[in-house]
Amino acid sequence: MRQALELGDDEKPAEAWPRSRARPQSAEPDLTQYVPRAVYNEVNQQLAALKQGGDQQELNNLVEEGLKDGRIAARRTPNG
């Protein structure tokens, strides 16, 4: 156990604990792995708009299909 903790002959295990928790200094982060927050937000908004448009189109297709095969009885018009 002393060897696994890299303890000296007169060193106590409690003294090694803080040393084992120390983290080495890492290299600078790879910025190619990240995008600016503004770009992320813009893409997120565009994706939401596309999904909303796709959901609306799917709903329109289902209503049209229901009207054609009789599952929906009639279409309500704006004038009555």
Residue entry with tokens 């792995």: 33
Query: What's the pTM value of the predicted model, to 2 decimals?
Result: 0.39
> What is the four-CA torsion angle of 50, 51, 56, 62, rounded to 10 degrees?
130
CB 15 within 8 Å of CB 6: no
Contacts of 75 (CB under 8 A, 6+ apart): 67
Q: What is the mean pLDDT of residues 3-10?
A: 71
Model confidence band, residue 28 (pLDDT cutoffs 50, 70, 90): confident
Is the CB of residue 72 less than 8 Å from the CB of residue 66? yes
What distance in Å separates the CA atoms of residue 4 and residue 37, rounded to the nearest whole number?
A: 44
